[in-house]
Structure 1
Amino acid sequence: MQTVMILAPMFGAFVVVLVVALVVIKRLVMGDTVKAVARIQQVEAEVRKKEEAIRREIEEHEKEFTRKKTEAETALQQQKEASEKEVAALRDQVLGDARKEGERILSQAKRNEEKLRQQVLQEMEGKAVDYGAEMFKLVFSEVMNEHLNRQFIGELLTALEEVDADSLTVDAADVQFTTSHPMDPEQKQQMQTLLKEKFGVEVVIHETVKPELLGGIVFKLGSLEIDGTLLNRFQEAIVEVKKHANV
């Protein structure tokens, strides 16, 4: 009994100490917990801030990337369109140059063809006149040639009588006569008289004989020049035949 009475105060004191200790421990634990919770909340807030900053930065980067991507696509499209225009312009230029060159070649070919055709025609005309002259020499005798020559000169004398003297200027210093045969003295005198009476020019005819004229006479009186030869008539006939052939 005495022992119990001795231990009771001690036990009570122990309980009190224990309670006090528990209270202290609880306060310590609660204080640390509150601080820990506060710290965690602070950390979480900082993390959220950093996450928000990172999110905003990511959004800014995405916007910048989108902007640069759009600019790059626009620049690429513009460059593509410019390249297409340059290619189209170059193609048009090449085609235009090729077309012009083709037209030039065709035009040159046509000119060469026309030039060759004219050359052939001239050669044919010359040969036709030569053949006509040869046929004339073969068919007609010299006597007939002389008679034909007088007829040609007679026709020219008649034509000269019909010329308006006022429309011509005859220079006695510039008088030339070319015949296929020596002129008949009577016709020569007739022409000298006609020139004196009609144009007031006194000349003595000294003709130049060229048998290739076949017949007739060529004379020049100042501004008046008349070719009344058979060779000239052959040439005129060839021209007329060519005109009718082209119709």
Structure 2
Amino acid sequence: MCINFLTVNKQTLQDHFETVVRSPDEWPEEAYQDYAAPIIVATRSGQRAALAASYGMVPRRHIPPDMKHYSTMNARTETIAERPSYADPWQRGLFCLVPMHAYFEPNWETGSAVRWRIGMADDAPFAVAGLYRAWQEEDGSRAFSFTQLTVNADTHPLMKRFHRPEDEKRALVIIPKSSYDDWLTCRNPEQARAYLQTHPAEMMDAAPDPKPVIARVKKETEQEDLNGSLF
């Protein structure tokens, strides 16, 4: 599933997503595992607020040293209620939006992985469904992390084109703008499942977008690929 996406800046959060930015922190233009990225949550009064959070529900720094590193960047909606990493936030309704300009998936139609950029047909920023949680850090500070929710996309006209031919096809859950507040304030996990749908293919756009060689080599040096390929 998605291991890389393009974040939005604070101005876009305020203008397009009508969100109060509460974090003084900055974040990079591209997010990978354990990178900071903005998420949108609902305050107790129902307002939208943006926080900086770590990409991956369980940050590597919180994985015990004797345990194998594992990826929690994407959560399967079919099993989210049973998985230890996600069950508590799911049951508590800790739903968030992950705003972005685009995300990337590998296309194998040529016989090898080619990175494709996926976004909206009108090139507008959009938001995908996520879960978040808080962590108490060793220095006493409070930090946040998040994961993105995915659904089966075996029959989706666009998303079925990605990943290896033998692999199940998955898609991020794109939340329509008209449903932002309903998703954020929903506290019933079973009702929340009504939002977990694939997005209409005609409203999306995708095209090859290979990473420049220098950037790709640098990234491969920095980060272990937990999904089997760094396209």
- TM value normalised by structure 2: 0.18
Which has the higher Rg, Structure 1 or Structure 2?
1
Which is bigger in relative contact order (C-alpha 8 A, separation at least 6)?
A: 2
Per residue, is there more helix in 1 or in 2? Answer: 1
More strand by share: 2
